[in-house]
Amino acid sequence: MTLVMKFGGTSVGSAQAMRETAVLIKNSQKQWGQTVAIVSAMGSKPVKVTDLLLQGAHSAANGDGETYQQLADQLRQIHYEAIDGLLAPDGERQQILAENGRFIDRFADLCKAVCVLGELSPRALDTVGGMGEQMSARILAAHLRQNGTPAEAIDATELIVTDSNFQNATPRFDLTKQKTVSRIRPLLAQGIVPIVTGFIAANADGITTTLGRGGSDYTGAILGEALAADEVWIWTDVDGVMTADPRLVPNAQSIPQLSYREVSELAFYGAKVLHPKTMRPCVENGIPLRIKNTFNPEHPGTVIVPDAPNGNGGIKAVTAIKNLSLITVEGKGMMGIPGIAARTFGAVARDNQSVLLISQASSEQSICFAAPDEATNSIIASLEAEFKVELERKDVDRIWAHEPVSIVTIVGAGMRGTPGISGRIFTALGAEKVNAIAIAQGSSECSISVVVDDADTATAVAQIHDLI
């Protein structure tokens, strides 16, 4: 039996957390026979190593020659403390310290180059941003070896082949499967636990790419698929997927079972607990996915299955994405012009922006969609260029943005065919005077999304959470 387990930033965030993670790996090795572990960069909240690395690169690009040096010291300290707490002086300590030191020196060298050139490419960001995983994997593997579990740190650049879309690369499955099987299977056969870096991969030329922020979850699913694993487990710092973000709603509860569809909606609409791309490799290969708490391993957490039982009244969870803008194209003359929607979204796509929600009035007098706040100006400029003639003719009256807004999404497969759900949602929002600016229902009827003023987000989420 093969189990793929991914450990998030907090699960490797300190010497103590790594010790607990190592125990989980050791136990799983006994129970499952073959275990592959994937690790994120160290991330004891609120300091995440990946954030520090990227911050260093960005500050250097702005001509700041000092911040990255301070960050290098901070990175040295964080990793030194972990190594000091985990590795005995007469063992591999010196070697791992030296290896980590080399990554941090390289970080500082790259930042220096960026500072001199005044230019930071997505490719350089991936090289710098991925170093956290390379360091944590080496520390954890050495700690496991020291405690009698054979383990080897492996950079996923050796396993996962992607396109060259730096910062958000897409894996090429056949090549990934070949490389992963030929590198990992022999280790598993010898009883060695591969400790693989999450987040990073490489293009066909071997240049480091990354799978997008939070992408280590996706690494877990990719390797699960490549190795035809029996299960994929995501270890984090909460008891599975909860009815709401526990930081926003303190009485949020863990959800025992969710369907792939439900959890995909939650992840897409902001529930940070799982990267939205994680589900696809698991669904397509029927691999069960579990989310569990490293700091409370006895808790069953959440299991993601093809069809989960319907929850109470249909609503299972509520989530939100903040800092968005709602962009509207409106005009009385739009009714007669064919292809307005296609042209609108064509212009947005050419601008390389993605749209999170769309709502169109039936008379076609307006079409509106939500996009990240920071993309507003560039999207409006693209739309104004696209509809230049229509704007001059006043067929399109205006293109404007309402910002900042957030999308609050209510998820539950049981909402399908349960009458009155929308009524309860809008009554709950109305009771606290939260205005619904736009509404969209997922075609699967497994989610309803409501756009509200950003300032109303917490109230809206709390009101809807009370309905669960």
Stretch that binds ligand ADP, among 107-115, 121-129, 239-247, 392-400 (CB under 6 A): 239-247
Instruction: Return the HEC string of the chain.
Output: CEEEEEECHHHHCCHHHHHHHHHHHHHHHHHHCEEEEEECCCCCCCCCHHHHHHHHHHHHHCCCCCHHHHHHHHHHHHHHHHHHHHCCCCCCHHHHHHHHHHHHHHHHHHHHHHHHHCCCCHHHHHHHHCHHHHHHHHHHHHHHHHCCCCEEEECHHHCCEECCCCCCCCECHHHHHHHHHHHHHHHHHCCCEEEEECCEEEECCCCEEECCCCCHHHHHHHHHHHCCCCEEEEEECCCCCECCCCCCCCCCCECCEEEHHHHHHHHHCCCCCCCHHHHHHHHHHCCCEEEEECCCCCCCCEEEECCCCCCHHHCCEEEEEEEEEEEEEECHHHHHCCCHHHHHHHHHHHCCCCCCEEEECCCCCEEEEEEEHHHHHHHHHHHHHHCHHHHHCCCCCEEEEEEEEEEEEEECHHHCCCCCHHHHHHHHHHHCCCCCCEEEECCCCCEEEEEEEHHHHHHHHHHHHCCC
Contacts of 16 (CB under 8 A, 6+ apart): 85
Decide whether 8 or 311 has the Cβ nearer to ligand ASP: 8
Total residues interacting with ligand ASP, rule: CB under 6 A: 13
Selection from 258, 260, 303, 309 nearest residue 283 by Cα: 260
Per-residue mark of binding to ligand ADP, 209-228 (x: CB under 6 A): -----x--------------
Is residue 214 a contact residue for Mg ion (CB under 5 A)? yes
The answer to whether residue 79 forms part of the interface with ligand ASP (CB under 6 A) is: no
The window from 19-27, 108-116, 164-172, 242-250 that contacts ligand ADP (CB under 6 A) reads: 242-250
Task: Tell me which stretch binds Mg ion (CB under 5 A): 214-222, 240-248, 305-313, 376-384.
Answer: 214-222
78 binds ligand ADP (CB under 6 A): no
Q: Which residue lies nearer to ligand ADP by CB, 103 or 269?
A: 269
Of the candidate residues 4, 9, 100, 218, the single one contacting ligand ADP (CB under 6 A): 9
Does 132 contact Mg ion by CB under 5 A?
A: no
8 binds ligand ADP per the rule CB under 6 A = yes
Query: Residue 242 binds what, of Mg ion, ligand ADP, ligand ASP, none (CB under 5 to 8 Å, by partner type)?
Result: ligand ADP
Residues in contact with 152: Cβ distance below 8 Å, sequence separation at least 6, in sequence order: 141, 187, 192, 193, 194, 195
Compute the least distance from the CB of residue 295 to ligand ADP, in Å.
11
Considering only residues 105 through 164, tell me which ones interact with ligand ASP, judged by CB under 6 A: 132
CB of 199 to ligand ASP, least distance (A): 4
**Binding of residue 9 to ligand ASP (CB under 6 A):** yes
Answer with the entry of Mg ion, ligand ASP, ligand ADP, none that 245 interacts with (C-beta below 5 to 8 A by kind).
ligand ADP
Q: Does 58 bind ligand ASP (CB under 6 A)?
A: no
Site for ligand ADP in 312-331 (CB under 6 A): 317, 319
Binding of ligand ASP by 278 (CB under 6 A): no
Decide: is 246 part of the binding site for ligand ADP (CB under 6 A).
yes
Taking CB under 6 A as the binding criterion, the range among 186-194, 243-251, 400-408, 436-444 that sits at the site for ligand ADP is 243-251
Selected range binding ligand ASP among 20-28, 163-171, 213-221, 229-237, rule: CB under 6 A: 213-221
289 in Cβ contact with 339 (< 8 Å): no
Return the number of the residue (141 or 321) whose C-beta is nearest ligand ADP.
321
Tell the smallest beta-carbon distance from residue 310 to ligand ADP (Å): 18
Q: Which of 43, 171, 220, 414 binds ligand ADP (CB under 6 A)?
A: 43
Per CB under 5 A, does 198 bind Mg ion?
no
What is the number of other CB atoms lying within 10 angstroms of the CB of residue 448? 23
Residues making contact with ligand ADP (CB under 6 A): 8-11, 40, 43, 214, 236-238, 241-242, 244-247, 271-273, 317, 319
Residues making contact with ligand ASP (CB under 6 A): 8-9, 40-41, 48, 50, 132, 198-199, 213-216
